[in-house]
Amino acid sequence: MQPIKLPTANLPKELPTMEIEFKPPTAHIPGYKPMVIPPSDLEAPEGVEEEATEEQPASPKMQIPVLDIQMPLPTAEVVATATYAAVAAVATTTLATPFFEQIKKKLQKFIQGKVDKWKQKSKKNQKDSLEN
C-alpha cells in the first residue's frame, strides 16, 4: 500500500515584523520663580539717604451733606478717557446701525424666500403622496 500524498501549500515568506518605538507621554509642569519677601524689620544700611518721593495730590472729594459722606471724584485723566470711550462707542453705533439694518432686511428676505420654497415643496410632496 502506498502512503497518501497530502497537498502542500506554497506560502510566501513571512514579512519582517515592525518594531514600533513607543515614547511615554510627558507633561510640562509649570514652575514659578520664588518670591523673596524681605523681613518686616528691614532697615536701610547706615549712610544711605532716603530718596525724596513725589507726593501724590489727594484726590478731590465731594461732600454729600444729607448723608454726611465724602465721595471721591475721579481724576481728570479718568474722566477724559471715559469721555473718549463713550463718544467713540456712540459714534460707532450711530454710523454702523444703518448698515446692519440693511443687512438684516436682506437676510430676512433671503431666509423667508427659502422657507417659502421649502413649504411649497413639502406641500407638493404631501399632495403627491396622497394621490398615490
Reading the block at residue 55, the C-alpha cell is: 507726593
What's the pLDDT at 66?
Answer: 81
Predicted confidence at residue 117, as pLDDT, reads: 94
Mean pLDDT computed over 78-85? 94
pLDDT reported for residue 132: 60
Backbone φ/ψ region at 61: left (φ over 0), alpha (ψ -120 to 50), beta: beta
Whether pTM > 0.75 for this model: the answer is no
Flag whether pLDDT at 120 surpasses 80.
yes
- Burial per residue of 32-62, b for 16 or more beta-carbon CB atoms within 10 angstroms, e otherwise: eeeeeeeeeeeeeeeeeeeeeeeeeeeeeee
